[in-house]
A and B are shown apart, each in its own frame.
Chain A
Amino acid sequence: MKAVILAAGNSTRLAPFSDSRPKSMILISGELILERVLKQVREAGISEVCVVVGPKGEQIEEAFHFGKALGLKLSYQRQEAATGIGQALSLAQGFVGQDPEFLLLFGDCLASGNNVTHLLQQAQGRPRQNLAMITHPHLEGAYGNIYLGHDMKIQRLVEKPLVGERHSNYILGGSFLLQTPVFQTLAALHLDMVALYQDLISKGELEASLWEDEWIDISRPWHILDANRMIMSTWQQSIIPASAEIDPGVHLQGPVHLGEKVRISAGATLVGPCYIGDNCFIGHSTLIRDHSSIGPGSVIGYGTEVKNSVLFGHSTVGRLSYIGDSVIGEAAHLGSGAMTVNTNYCDQVFNLSLPEGEVNTGRTKLGAFLGDRCIIGAGHILKPGTLVAPGSVWPDHFTNPPAT
Chain B
Amino acid sequence: MCGISAIASHKPVAEALLQGLRNLEYRGYDSCGMALQGVKGLEVRKNIGAVDEVDQAERFAEMQGHSGIAHTRWATHGEVTRFNSHPHLSNNGNFAIVHNGILSNYQEIKAQLMAKGFQFLSQTDTEVFANLLEDAYGQSKSVEQAFCSALRQVKGSYAIAMISQHEPGRIYGVKKDSPLVVGLSDGTNYLSSDINAFLGATRDTLLLEDHEYVVLEQDQVWVKSVATGELVPKQVIRVQWDRQAAQRGGFSHYMLKEIFDQPQTVKQTLAIDEAEINAIAQKFLAHPRNFSVGVGTTYFVAMVGCYLFKRYADLYVPAVSSDEFPRLVPGGADMHVLFFSQSGETYDTRMAIQAAKESGGATSAVVNVVGSSISRAVDTCIFQGSGPEICVVSTKAALSQIVILWQIALAVGRAKGCLTAQEQARVKGKLGEFADTLEQLLNEESGNVRHLAAQTKAVPNWLFMGKDIYYPIALESALKMKEVTYLHAEGLPAGFLKHGTLAMVDESLYSLFFLPHPSEHDLFRSSLNAMEEVKARRGKVITFCHPDNHEALRLADHYFYLPDLGPEAHPLMQLVLAQLFSYYSALQLGLNIDKPRNLAKSVTVG
Contacts and interface: CB of A to CB of B under 8 A. Distances in A.
A352 interface: no
A122 interface: yes
A169 B195 contact: no
B193 A210 contact: no
A310 to B, nearest CB: 23
Interface stretch (B74-82, B112-120, B142-150, B235-243): B235-243
A402 to B, nearest CB: 51
Contacts of B237: 43-45
A140 B451 contact: yes
Nearest to B179: A125
B587 A212 contact: yes
A168 B444 contact: yes
Contacts, number: 91
Nearest to A122: B250
A188 interface: no
A166 interface: yes
B247 to A, nearest CB: 10
Interface string B205-219: 101011000000000
Interface stretch (B160-168, B259-267, B495-503, B504-512): B259-267
Contact of A137 (B27, B235, B249, B447): B447
A263 interface: no
Interface in B161-215: 177, 179, 193-196, 205, 207, 209-210
B246 A121 contact: yes
Contacts of A147: 439-440, 443
A148 B443 contact: yes
Interface in A151-170: 151-152, 155, 166-170
Given A166-B561, A168-B444, A152 B249 contact: yes
Contacts of B194: 124-125
Nearest to A44: B237
B239 to A, nearest CB: 8
B446 interface: yes
A106 to B, nearest CB: 20
Interface string A239-273: 00000000000000000000000000000000000
Contacts of B27: 125
A43 B237 CA distance: 7
B245 interface: yes
B445 interface: yes
A229 to B, nearest CB: 13
Given A100-B177, A121-B241, A125-B194, A169 B251 contact: no
B489 to A, nearest CB: 22
A167 B444 contact: yes
A185 interface: no
Contacts of A146: 443
Interface residues of A, number: 40
Nearest to A99: B210
A210 B443 contact: no
B107 interface: no
Contact of A169 (B241, B261, B446): B446
Contacts of A122: 245-246, 250
Interface residues of B, number: 42
A150 B250 contact: no
Contacts of B235: 42, 45, 47, 71
A232 interface: no
A82 to B, nearest CB: 30
A150 B261 contact: yes
B448 interface: yes
Contact of B447 (A47, A71, A169): A169
Contacts of A283: none
Given A150-B260, A150-B263, A170 B446 contact: yes
Contacts of A189: none
Contacts of B249: 151-152
Interface in B552-573: 561
B359 interface: no
B414 interface: no
B461 interface: no
A349 interface: no
A296 interface: no
Name the residue among A150, A152, A169, A207 with the largest chain B CB count within 10 angstroms. Answer: A150
A395 interface: no
A208 interface: yes
A99 B176 CA distance: 10
B265 to A, nearest CB: 9
A368 B451 CA distance: 27
A47 B245 CA distance: 25
A124 B246 contact: yes
Contact of B252 (A140, A144, A155, A212): A212
Interface string B32-72: 00000000000000000000000000000000000000000
Contacts of A45: 205, 207, 235, 237
Contacts of A166: 444, 561
Nearest to A213: B252
Interface of B: 1, 27, 177, 179, 193-196, 205, 207, 209-210, 235, 237, 239-241, 245-246, 249-252, 256, 260-264, 439-440, 442-448, 450-451, 561, 587
Interface of A: 1, 42-45, 47, 71, 99-100, 114, 117, 121-122, 124-128, 136-137, 140, 144, 146-152, 155, 166-170, 207-210, 212
10 interchain residue pairs of minimum CB distance: A169-B447, A125-B194, A136-B447, A168-B443, A152-B250, A45-B237, A45-B207, A150-B260, A140-B451, A122-B250
13 contacts: A43-B237, A44-B237, A45-B237, A47-B235, A100-B177, A117-B241, A140-B448, A144-B447, A149-B439, A167-B444, A168-B444, A169-B446, A169-B448
Given A140-B451, A150-B439, A170-B447, 20 more contacts: A1-B209, A45-B205, A45-B207, A47-B235, A99-B210, A100-B210, A114-B240, A121-B246, A124-B195, A125-B196, A126-B246, A128-B177, A144-B447, A146-B443, A147-B440, A149-B439, A155-B439, A168-B440, A169-B447, A169-B450
